[in-house]
Structure formats: C-alpha cells, structure tokens
Structure 1
C-alpha cells in the first residue's frame, strides 16, 4: 500500500486511515459509458476494495470518442461494456475486487445489485434509472452521487439520504421524452465527461473516507464551451412531502412491471425489451434456431441476429435490443417472431 497509494496517503484529508477505509469500501457504478469509464478508473486506481460495474450495453465504434477504457478491438468484438471495462481495470489494479455485471438495472434486480454497496455512482443516461437508484439508496440509507453530461454541459451533486435532499426533492418529475438533449441528438465532447466524472469521483472519495466537513452542498452545473459554472445551494431543499425520502413509498422500485419492460432508448433507434421476471436465454439454442433465417454473430456474452432492416441483440439474462426502430410495438412484434415468449 505504501508504494502504490503513497501520493494519495500524503494528501492530508485522506492519509493512511482514509486509505484503509477506501480499501474496505464497496462501490457500485451504474452505467459503463462515458462517465462510468472515468469513474471506474478513478475508483480502481484509488484502491477502493470492491467495485461493481453494471451496464446493459456493448461497445460500438461511436463510443470510442469519449468512453476512455475501450478500444477498436472491443468494438469489433461487440464486447459488453462491463466486461471490456473489467478486462482493462483488472490489469490496472489487481488488488481491487472488480465485479462486472452485464444487466439492465430494473426494479427486479436493483436492490440485489445496489443494497450491499457503501456508495453508488450514477453514470446513467436517463432519469428513470436515476429515480430507481434514488429509491434504493434512500430505502437503504446509501449515499450516491448523481451526474450527467451532454454536449458541452454537465451537472452533478452528492446525495446523502436523511441529510440532503434526494433526487426527487430536486426533480419531482422526470423530463418528458424529447425535452432534454441527449448525446445522440446534441453530441458530446470528451472533456466535459472528465470534468463531471472527476467531480463525482472526488465527492465519492470524501464520502468513503468520512470527510464530512468537505461535503459539497450544491447542485453544480457547467457549460464548458462557454466557460460558465453555476452553483445552486440545495442543502435546505429537502421536502417533507417528497414521495421518496418524505413519504418513503418508493414508486420506481415497486413499479408494476409484470408485463416486462419495453423501452425506446432515446436517440438510438433502438428498443430494449426486458423479461418480466428473472429469466435467461440459451444463446446456443437460439443461434441454432436463427441461423437458417439470417446472419448470426456470436461471442460468449451476446448474440446478434440480422433481420434486415433490423438487428436483434440477445443477452443471456433475457434482454433483447431491437435495433433499427424506436417503435415499441414493432420491436415487440419482432421479439415475438424471432425470440418467442
């Protein structure tokens, strides 16, 4: 520890005792895209003892401009992001226990994936998942750090259940589809990713080492291209009538998903279909069934079936991405035709 973390130990707010606390800490990162690659890099290099990487997607060429852990080989192999990140990170710090999870965060699995963490880091790209993170973290009193970036702008804040406003205090309603820019509609530059994720990572270190005197009381917003930085003090924004931290009804964690989830992924011309309960797909059997019908590509993590003009990407956990449409009914029809019930 003395050699690897010596410069971090020399930083007085961390010191040797703080480093020991990092080494015994557990962090879950939701999303291994742009923010997630930076956050996981910081957590692993800082010596956090256990880091869980949760992501539903696989590496594509358009990711490489800003998702710093991935390379062209990962994109050619269609590697799941959680696995590609794991392969890089385990070579960076073999002392850290890194757990890759190729899955979508849903009401079915959110508590099992997050409730044993000391801290959760948000690296997602949509508010529905953030509200789900917020539900779990408030229910189990787990601190978490919200962050988002698009174009050249970014936002972050640290949330400590019982001490700060929760996400639903700050944003009672999710933005409606089409109201907010996304990376796929407005683009994004790499530097804003590093700024937002580095602030998130710093708040994470403060929380993990117990530096309560340094906690940030603001919701921070950056416009990097125009060199603007805004701080909104939110320390007194807790709402007694907040459905999550006030009433504790956890709407997103207890959402009715008995028919399964079909979600159009904003800006990606893709619909994700998730099973209604814990399920699995036998990719070997599926490959044999689909091979006579069209081109099938396989690796050990996923199967891609080309049913022109659409592509179906199937995962062992039962999820299927239907690429080439944003129409949920079309996606369900293709799923029923090629995957089945």
Structure 2
C-alpha cells in the first residue's frame, strides 16, 4: 500500500500521478557503483518510493569521498565501511519501505549476471570505461535499458540507452572522442555530480512510469564552470555492424580476451595490470603530473601516488607497487588512468 501523504507532492506532478507512483513502487533498479553518482541516484530513488534497489560497489568510504558523496559520514570514513553497506544503512533511515540489497563486489559480468533477474533499469555510476563497455554488452544481450553518466572537474554527460532502439555506448564512443580524465587527476566539484544525477534520476523516473515519449534521445554534456550546456543528436551513430548492438552482435566486452588483465607479481608487493589498449603517453603525462612526483622517458612513465608507485609502459602494462591486492590496484589504476 502506497503511503499517499509521503509521495503526495510527487503524485501531484501529472506525468507521474497516482498510477505512476504505483509503477515506481513495483520496480527494481540496479545501481552499479555507489560513489558520487550512485549514492545520489540511490537517495533520489529511495525518496521517490522505488520498490527495490540493488547496490553494487567494491570500495569503502574514504575521507576524500565526503566532499561530494552525500550519503556518507565521517564515521563511515573512519571505520572504512564498504560503500554499498553504508548506503543501505543510510537509505533505510530515509525510507524503510524500500527493499535494498547491498553487494560488496567487483562489477564484472559473472558477478552481475545473477543480479539482473527481474531488473527494470540499470544506472551506471562506475568510474571506468572497461566496466561501462562490459555493462553495455551485458545489458544489450539481456535487453535491459540503462543510463550512462560520468563527471569530472566541472563537466559531465549523460545518455539513456535502450537495447535494439538507441545507439549503444560503443556506437557513441566510436563517433565522439571522449578523454579519460578522472576525479583524482582533474578534481571535481559537487555541483557537477548533482547535475548529472538530476538528469539520470529524471530519465529513470520516465522509464519507471512508462513515459518513453518524454525520454531524451540526445547525448547531454555540460561544463558548469564555463557556462556551457549541449545536447547532441546521436541517432545516426547507430551502426548495423556494431559488435554490441548491430545485426550480428558478438558482445566483445564479455569475452575474456577483451578485459583488462591483472596479476600479482610474486614476492614484489606489486600488481601488474595489462590493458588491451596502448596509452597515449602525452595525455597521460599531462594528467599524472598533477598527481605527484613524475618521471618519464621514451619507454615508461612513473608517478608517486600516496604510498604507491605506478609505472605505465608503452605496451599497455602498468605496475602498481605497494600492494598485493588486485582490487586495490585496479581501484588506483582506474582513478589515475581513466
């Protein structure tokens, strides 16, 4: 039974109404990533009366998160509480009616596949394009709509993807160059997060109430600091030959050979990560010189970051010295390399 008073102002909004509120209360949403975008989207949907939220994140709350990740507190950072767990606890304080499942795990295809049963929508709140391409293929294959979002500095973007209808993420990024700057290399202001979240949550509500005609079909980008806001028509980006959404899809990002490889180097307190793509050394140097002490030659770039040392090679390999944890190494790698 919907508590009418609780959602009365939302139901007064005619595109939702009482019937739309019932639809929202019966829907299941998976949020991949519980950082800035994920935690804010989760709070919005919990307050809106979503039926069930599934939260996936591999990381724990750190002090640097508190500037923009609105669900978390100093106690969470002090005790290094996993983000998915901390988010679940806070959301239950906001709305006990919402069913919430928290999963502390690395978001790969094998881990996510069992969670997709009965899911109506997936919200991307990840921090790297390896995971996004995997999500793109997994959700294309399972015919589940999802909402892409990213932000860094004062910029952000969002795009809604419907399998078999809109261009997929691979189509989009083949057509539009997007650099891989990260919050750790370029910083971020919290209003940029809130702007992306506003668009992601609004698109989510349209999908949940079944108002597909109101969906934005364009790619949205903005730069709040420089007062820029653009929407780009992307219908023509859809390709018949796309390996993810074309006529004969092969879903390459679900293939082991496509994934970034990680391994612990025995006895060295070091993890090696091997990317399928060779880095752009010029862009990487520009990004990393803001991070810490950097050295570079024709063959590699080395940078000191907190207690770690990262060495990037021309062939796509990266050594993360100072840890034997693949999960920690991957987290650092994606934070700095994009």
TM-score range, shorter chain: 0.7 to 0.9
SS, match of residue 28 in structure 1: strand
SS, match of residue 165 in structure 2: coil
1:122 Cα offset (Å): 0.5
Alignment partner of 2:12 out of 10, 13, 16: 10
Task: Classify 1:48/1:330 alpha carbon distance in 2 versus 1 (closer, same or farther; 3 Å).
Answer: closer
Residue number in structure 1 paired with 2:77: 75
Ranges in structure 1 where 5+ consecutive residues have no aligned partner: 264-269, 274-321, 337-341
Task: Classify 1:260/1:217 alpha carbon distance in 2 versus 1 (closer, same or farther; 3 Å).
Answer: closer
**RMSD value over aligned CA atoms?**
2.7
Task: Classify 1:211/1:258 alpha carbon distance in 2 versus 1 (closer, same or farther; 3 Å).
Answer: closer
Deviations 1:20-74 (A, max 9, x none): 1111101000111111111000111111101011101001101100001111100
Q: 1:27-42 alignment to 2 at 5 Å?
A: 27-42=29-44
1:113 Cα offset (Å): 2.6
Please give the alpha-carbon distance, in whole angstroms, between the structure 1 residues aligned to 2:41 and 2:67.
17
Deviations 1:277-296 (A, max 9, x none): xxxxxxxxxxxxxxxxxxxx
Please give the alpha-carbon distance, in whole angstroms, between the structure 1 residues aligned to 2:198 and 2:50.
15
SS, match of residue 236 in structure 2: coil
SS, match of residue 213 in structure 1: helix
Please give the alpha-carbon distance, in whole angstroms, between the structure 1 residues aligned to 2:25 and 2:272.
36
TM-score (normalised: structure 1): 0.76
Task: Classify 1:173/1:99 alpha carbon distance in 2 versus 1 (closer, same or farther; 3 Å).
Answer: farther
8 Å CA contact 2:253–2:259 kept in 1: the answer is no
Residue number in structure 2 paired with 1:107: 109
Stretch of structure 1 that moved more, 113-122 or 215-224: 113-122
Please give the alpha-carbon distance, in whole angstroms, between the structure 1 residues aligned to 2:187 and 2:213.
37
SS, match of residue 254 in structure 2: coil
- Pair 1:250-2:251 in alignment: yes
Please give the alpha-carbon distance, in whole angstroms, between the structure 1 residues aligned to 2:309 and 2:72.
26
1:106 Cα offset (Å): 1.0
Higher share of residues assigned helix: 2
Ranges in structure 2 where 5+ consecutive residues have no aligned partner: 265-269, 274-305, 312-317, 327-338
Count, aligned residues: 280
8 Å CA contact 2:37–2:125 kept in 1: the answer is yes
Residue number in structure 1 paired with 2:296: none
Please give the alpha-carbon distance, in whole angstroms, between the structure 2 residues aligned to 1:160 and 1:145.
9
8 Å CA contact 1:53–1:101 kept in 2: the answer is yes
Task: Classify 1:124/1:174 alpha carbon distance in 2 versus 1 (closer, same or farther; 3 Å).
Answer: farther
SS, match of residue 236 in structure 1: helix
Please give the alpha-carbon distance, in whole angstroms, between the structure 1 residues aligned to 2:272 and 2:7.
41
TM-score (normalised: structure 2): 0.77
